[in-house]
Each structure stands twice: as structure tokens, then as C-alpha cells.
Amino acid sequence: MKLNEKPFYLSEKDIEWVKETLASMSVEEKIGQLFCLTDMITDEEQLKEMIRKYKPGGFMYRSGNALEIQNAQRVMQETSRIPLLLSCNLESGGNGVADSGTFFGRQLQVAATDEKEQAKRLGMICGREGGATGCNWAFAPIVDIDFNWRNPITNVRTYGSDPERVLTMADAYIDGIREADPGMAACIKHFPGDGVDERDQHLLPTVNSLSVEKWESTYGRVYGKLIEKGVKTVMVGHILQPEMTRKMCQGIKDEEILPASVNRYLMTDLLRGQLGFEGLITTDATPMVGFTGMMSRKEALAKALMGGADVLLFCKNIDEDYAGIREYLEKGRITMERIDEAVMRQLALKASLKLHEKQKNNTLVPEKEALLVIGCKEHADWAKECADKAITLVKDNQKLLPISPARTKRIRLTVLGEEKSGAFGDGGTVGELLKNALSKAGFTVSMYDYATMERGEIFTAGIEEMKEKFDLSIVAANIATGSNHTTRRVEWIDLMAANEPWYTKEIPTMFISFCNPYHMIDVPFISTFINCYSSSSYCVDAVVEKIIGKSSFNGKSPVDPWCQEVWGARFM
């Protein structure tokens, strides 16, 4: 390792700290450094005990109370002999670490603006608001490419299906986070690339099935360019890439091909060798079944480490995982040389972020006043602008827009998906927000009554009766994608799809999607279709302004909303 070169660029003094710290560590401390743990505990004594006992290299919080998380991260940093990497999923704004954080927009929403400045602003918000709580490691940007519209994980978390747009937006995000907080590292994910398979690596190992040539011109190009620019960390997914593995190991048998997170041909030979990455490699979350679906957990941890991973993300049973590393070290299945290399890279990352200097100055976690930036007016204004530029009118074949109370005063609003949440921290209800915004604009809005299913309407009502009730139907889908949801399609009430708009050719109907750009597959017959990409209040306000004609639609779809030309969607 040339620590004075890309991506760490350490000074001689920094390198001396890295080497002296490594030399001073016991075997137990080195094993602890391999792990980034996670929990939502904020009790000071529990945190102190955890740090003293396990001596982890890092820790990750999900979104919570900003002050509680800041206090907890201060306690951990003050307790740890070696400064900690404190990570969070800063994918769509400060809401990735704080409940009160700015929900700027999902990556697909940002891409729909077709302005890299919006991606840079996303990075700046993440850097500012994440840094205010004490975080120094952003598990973002996502550089997966949404080639498969059925994929349940990528979807709105990506910058779309065009590799060049993905590269442009990810590059701008990294610029933004660096400008906002030089003490925070970005982490591009999920190598070797999600978005080809239609399954979920939380549930099983998935497959990137592209040919060598196709992979190198798409995912390989994105990773290569960002590595060339100096990104410091990469997250490796539980994703197989058979053709690239065969290229790195000619003659390998199919049954020997493994997910990237436990595959040295992909981590060491491809990522480090062919692509020249010298930064820190972390696995994706090891509790996922994709990590252990092909071998025992102990074997998977060993293969991940020996394959080139420097950080093992999360534990199942922490004592068992630590013991497994010790056992395999004693048996020679894991070498001390590889552990030292992994720990050195982690220390080098910490030194490049000046964590060792901040530790001396007691500035690893900022003071309480720093939290004032979270959800601030400037960030809210940026989020409003992004929503305005992103929302996309996919079709309006019935020439319905703009709507007005003079023509369609009485609106039936049917909201789908509010009873289920996604799993990436960006959820929220849109129904009441949408109703209030439409009411403010002069409409009379009646929410579909799920409790009574409109008193048997599906069985008895005729079209004239329906016209007596309302002039316009709006179906709003808030069906968030998330881990452990194999599919997130439009679902109607089980009993005869009672809430489905069966009257679309007689009562004007529009469909507004807030969380998934691919709902056209299930509602091609609805003639007006809008994609918002995010379920933020900013998107709700912006879409209402657009449908009533106060502002224009500016978004450019970063993916194929026609779901590979589902029959009738373009002309119905």
C-alpha cells in the first residue's frame, strides 16, 4: 500500500500514526477493527460497555432523534482508543441519519431533473446534516444501474438506467459531500452492480448476468471513473458476476462462483487489480441471506476477509462472529498478514479524514449547535426546487390537465400503499398532504373509505350514481420499495378490487406515483400518469401545483416508465 498516493494521500506524519497505531494493537483490537456494528441503543453506559468490550472499527445508526444520535456518537468516540468510522445511509438527504433531516429526494428524483447541480446539492445536504450528528462515512451514492424494471431494490434508489447519467450524478454527489464536509468519506455501492436481477440479495445471492464486454462498458466504466477520481471506499454486494469471475479465473466451475462479498476474484483481482482501487472495501450487511446463502456464516466471514474486504458490516451474534475470526486465525484459514492489511487500510481512511487529529482536539463530534443545519431553510428551499424540476408527466392522453374546481370540483382520492412502509428510511404518508393541498386549491376531496369499502359500491353502483358523487378520480400510489419485499406492485382490495377505478373511461382519472416509476405495468388503462419518485411533502406540493396549472412539468424520466412497452400504455 502506498498510503501517500490515491485515494488517501497521507502525509508522513499521518503514515507514522497509522503504523504506530497498528503496531500498538493487540490481536483482539485488530479483530474488533474489522467490524462495523449497528444498533439503535443510545444509553451511555451500554454504549461505553460495547465499545470497551468489542473495540469495533465503526458503528452505524439508522435514522433517529438527531440530538440522541449526536450524543451517542460522542460517547462512543470518547470511549474508543482509536477513532471510529461512524456511518449512515445518506442516500436521499439528512433523513438518512435524523428523523428531522431534510428529505431532499430519492436518487431517481434527482436524476429526473437532468441537472448535476441537484446531485451535488444532495451530496452537500448529506455532508452537512450527517456531519452535524458526528457521522464521517456516508454509505452513498448508489451507483447501481436500473436495467431491470422488476428489481425490488434498485428502483428509485438509483440514478436510472443510463450508465452515463449514473456516473455524472454520482460524481456530482461526491463533489457535494466533499465540499460540505472534507471529513466525510463517500462509499459507492453495490459492487459489482445491482439492477440486472429482479431479486433481492437480502433474501438470497443475486446475479449480475452481463457479459464481460457489457459489464466493462457499464458498471465497470462507472466504478473505474469514480475510482480514478479518488473515491475512498467501495461497498461490495452479495451479487454474483459469473462472466467477470470466469475472466479472472479461467476454468472455474459454476458451483465455485460466489457472490462478490466472498469472492476474491471480484474483490482482489477485478476491483483492486483491473480497476486499480486502493481504498477501503466494506461488505454489504452480513446478516443478509445473500451473504450466507452458499456457505456457513463462519466460512463466509473468512472468505470475505481473505477475499479482500477490510470491513465486515454488522454481526449476527457478535461474540460468535468474533470467536469465528479468532478460530480461523488460529487454524490458518485467516492470516495475520491479511488482518493487518485490512486494519491498515481502515486506519489510513481514518487518517485521511483527520480523525486522529480531531480526536486530539476533541472535535470528532460537533457541539449541539451544529444540529441547527438539519432541516434548515436553505436545504428545504433546495428540496422544493428539486421536486419542481423532477416531477414527470408520462402521459395525458385524455387532455385532462390542468384541472380546475370549475370543471372537476369533486375529487375522489384513493391512496395505495399507506398501510405498508418501505425499508430505506424515506417513508411517509402522502394521503392527507395531498388532500389538504387539493382542498386549499378549491377542490372538494373525498378519501376512499377503506373501512366501509364505500358501502358495497363495487357490487351495486352504476356509472350515473358515481357521477353524482365525484367529477374526477385521483389514484395516488405510495408503494415504497424496500428490502425483503420481492415485489412492490399495485395492489387493490382483495374483495373484487373494490377500490380500483373501474370507471376510467367515463369519469376522468389520473394516476400519481410517489415511490415507484414502473406502476404503468398495472394501470396502462389510466390515461393520465405522473411520476414523482419520492414521497416527500415537497413532491406533494409540487405535483398539485403542476396538475392545477400553476407550474409546468419539467422532469425527464431517467428510466423506461413504459415497462418495456406494456400493451396499450401509450395509446390508452
The bridge status of strand 472-477 relative to strand 410-416 is: parallel
Whether residue 504 contacts residue 526, with contact meaning beta carbons closer than 8 Å, is answered with yes
- Smallest Cα–Cα separation from 300: which of 310, 209, 290? 290
Is 388 a known active-site residue?
no
Given the residues 146, 197, 284, 426, the one annotated as active site: 284
- CB-based contacts of 213, cutoff 8 Å, min separation 6: none
How far apart, in whole angstroms, are the C-alpha atoms of residue 31 and residue 518?
44
How far apart, in whole angstroms, are the C-alpha atoms of residue 538 and residue 435?
14
Residue 336 has a CB neighbour count (10 Å cut-off) of: 11
The C-alpha angle with vertex 477 and arms to 540 and 551, in degrees rounded to 5, equals 30
Residue 491 has a CB neighbour count (10 Å cut-off) of: 16
The bridge status of strand 58-60 relative to strand 392-396 is: unpaired
- CB-based contacts of 117, cutoff 8 Å, min separation 6: 172
- What is the SS3 assignment for 511? strand
Q: Positive or negative, the Cα torsion across 213, 215, 220, 222?
A: positive
Whether residue 162 contacts residue 214, with contact meaning beta carbons closer than 8 Å, is answered with no
- Smallest Cα–Cα separation from 557: which of 526, 529, 535, 522? 529
All 3 cell numbers of residue 260? 462478490
Residues labelled catalytic: 284
